[in-house]
Structure 1
């Protein structure tokens, strides 16, 4: 992918040149730096990218390896792989992504599965996550796949786990009664909830749950 667009920022300079492209080996150090900034403790450090994982990504499925530049500076990335997800069956992030290596990528899989999305916090006012997500929707259409699907963290859930079930928490976010930094973003970006998955990822803030979400290809 090679896409040039404008990003609007109310806080600073109103318009910025944005460039969405496939990430390459020379981007690895910057991508790892962004992950450390975006996912501070208590997020498990072992879930952050390392160079070997990133190298596997670009070797196995380069179409699923996107980054976004702001005025020439890499400010975020999104990684996806092809697979077939059975919504009624539980899975963990480790299982479906082969611990982030995407060795489980299926060349004929009909679902594009989101492995990770990450944006440098200092650039978040530009809506880069939404731009990356839109680019992945375009990839779904280009490859004639059924949908974009993935498990989203629920980092606000630990505050309400004593009073709400995971499904009730998701519904409260959908109704606008609660705000969750990840789920609210996913819903605004066009994703629909499928169901919460227990023990999806090692994440105390989410009480180890993940919400399976999808965006269906409107042309299928």
Structure 2
């Protein structure tokens, strides 16, 4: 009987030690409750994503009454009578050796070379006689830039041919002491800009004929 009592005492002592060990492990368990019973929240930083920058406004042109489309070919910008006259007096058309530009005014030239839709037409060969014309599609701001550049360079601008015509004529002397007349004439109307530079010859009514043909 005594040995049985000793055995029960040993078992009870062993259970007490086991409970104590489990209690000690629970005190250091990660994520254990605090004395208040609440679980600590992790320290998390909130990052607000950057807002994308607003795109710059792009100029768009709403078609207006009187706007034209770019002609398909140079023969389609003249009346039959003007085309016949040019072929008779200053052929050929579109000689690849002709490099004359339709304007020498830098701001206008920058607009012309900016990638705007353009049809280039020339008359005559490389000589002291010829015509270079561009029919271009421009925005209202580009048309304004061109007109301001022309006026600031001494062009006379007036209302004509359904829009604004700006022109200038100058004379120069060749090495053979010959006087050569040259000039430019421009029409700004709706979404179109007709620019022409000429040397020695410029048929009367040239720009007006193109306007009447495009806006017929």
Q: TM-score, normalised by structure 1?
A: 0.29
- Structure with max Cα Rg: 2
| Higher percent of residues as strand | 1
